[in-house]
Amino acid sequence: MKRVILTSGGTAGHVWPIVSIIDELKQNSDIEYLYVGSNGIEKKIAKEQKLNFQSILVGKYRPYFSLMNLVDFFKTFIGLFQALKLIKKFKPDLIFAKGGFVTFPLLFWAKQKNIPVIIHESDSIMGKANVWAANFAQKICVGFPLENYNERNQKYIYTGNPVRKEFTIHEVTDKKLPTILITGGSQGSRAINDTISEILPLLVKRFEIYHLCGQKDFCKLKQKFNLKNYHLSSFDSRIDLLMQKADLIISRSGANTLAEIAALEKASILIPYPFASQNHQFCNAEIFVNAHAAIMIDEKSLTSNALLDMIESLMSNEEQRSALSRNIGKFYNPNAASEMVIQIKKVLNYE
């Protein structure tokens, strides 16, 4: 019996790919897994998915002065001992890390104890934890084609980014109007919400609008707008159904969201989050734009008129939307999770 620890967390984008990999691992009766993360969203999702999960304390480093850095230093210190205890008890043959600060305690001990490591980087720009772990990892699985990474070697393997099975269903739904989905991610986006608010009365005259605005702006928008064809939510756990319905998606450009859009082959306008680490959302979106797979508008250039012109141009040009859909679909690898499990097996000398 081989044992594998998988670690990730902090955001849903770090968690759901791990869930997909675990689903693949479960098909191997002689591989036992343990998912280790923080007490954040990964704990909630792991409970819902009935996964074998253990939480440890972890702290996040901020590249600016903050008293929380001191608090999180002690969290990480405690987390290191919790991680060591888990490793001694579970005795993993391999650690699979998805990136992010949550993975540091386990990767620290993996390096000290020479436990084989595989990392996965979803974005086109490698995060700090993965940059460090890449020095001692046996394999580096990446979400974008290899030519998009400046520093790469024989350890790099293009697998793509796995998505939940719900995002692979292409259902044709009856609808009275062309449909647009607007989302700023699970936390919402004030910039996107404010811009959409200015043009919303014009949009609802021609389109069905689904708007996931985040919790912070929900009450304000709910009080301000009561329009036909406008459907407002702070968050929707079945965003896959909204994506299936959409003729156009307006979204941030995190790697996981892009993988979901690619899996469903949807035309999209991408508005990268400008404060993402190393500006990785802009770099992600730029790759899609260069492949004629999406349209991008930088938040610095985001105005209501610019966005309205872009929406009207795309929605009146079915041929362009179809081309974007075909091209973005090329970035989706339906075998991403199974290919990562193949790499796990290879490092374990499983086959």
Report the pLDDT averaged over residues 48-72. Answer: 73
Q: How many domains does the chain have?
A: 2
Q: 288 and 242 share a domain?
A: yes
Q: 341 and 301 share a domain?
A: no
The residue whose two tokens read 């009935």 is 50
pLDDT at 191: 94
Q: 315 and 170 share a domain?
A: yes
What is the CATH classification number for the domain harbouring 175?
3.40.50.2000
Q: 155 and 303 share a domain?
A: no
Q: How far apart, in whole angstroms, are the C-alpha atoms of residue 148 and residue 209?
A: 34
DSSP state of 11: S
Is 0.75 topped by the overall pTM?
A: yes
Q: 105 and 197 share a domain?
A: no
The residue whose two tokens read 């004629």 is 292
Q: 221 and 274 share a domain?
A: yes
Q: 117 and 190 share a domain?
A: no
Among the ranges given (67-76, 164-173, 181-190), the one the predictor scored with the smallest mean pLDDT? 67-76
Q: 182 and 102 share a domain?
A: no
Q: 44 and 89 share a domain?
A: yes
pLDDT in tens, 47-57: 999 999 999 98
User: Does residue 71 register a pLDDT over 80?
Assistant: no
Q: 140 and 173 share a domain?
A: no
Going 124 to 130 to 132 to 138, the CA torsion angle's sign is negative
pLDDT in tens, 121-176: 999 999 888 999 999 999 999 999 999 988 788 899 999 999 988 888 777 667 78
pLDDT at 69: 56
pLDDT at 73: 62
115 and 109 Cβ atoms separated by less than 8 Å: yes
DSSP state of 147: G
9 and 40 Cβ atoms separated by less than 8 Å: yes
Instruction: Tell me the residue range of the domain where 69 lies.
Output: 2-162+334-347
Looking at per-residue confidence, does 94 or 73 come out higher?
Answer: 94
Report the pLDDT averaged over residues 279-300. Answer: 96
Closest C-alpha to 159, from 134, 140, 142: 142
84 and 109 Cβ atoms separated by less than 8 Å: yes
pLDDT at 278: 86
Q: 323 and 341 share a domain?
A: no
Q: 7 and 21 share a domain?
A: yes
pLDDT in tens, 299-320: 999 999 999 999 999 999 999 9
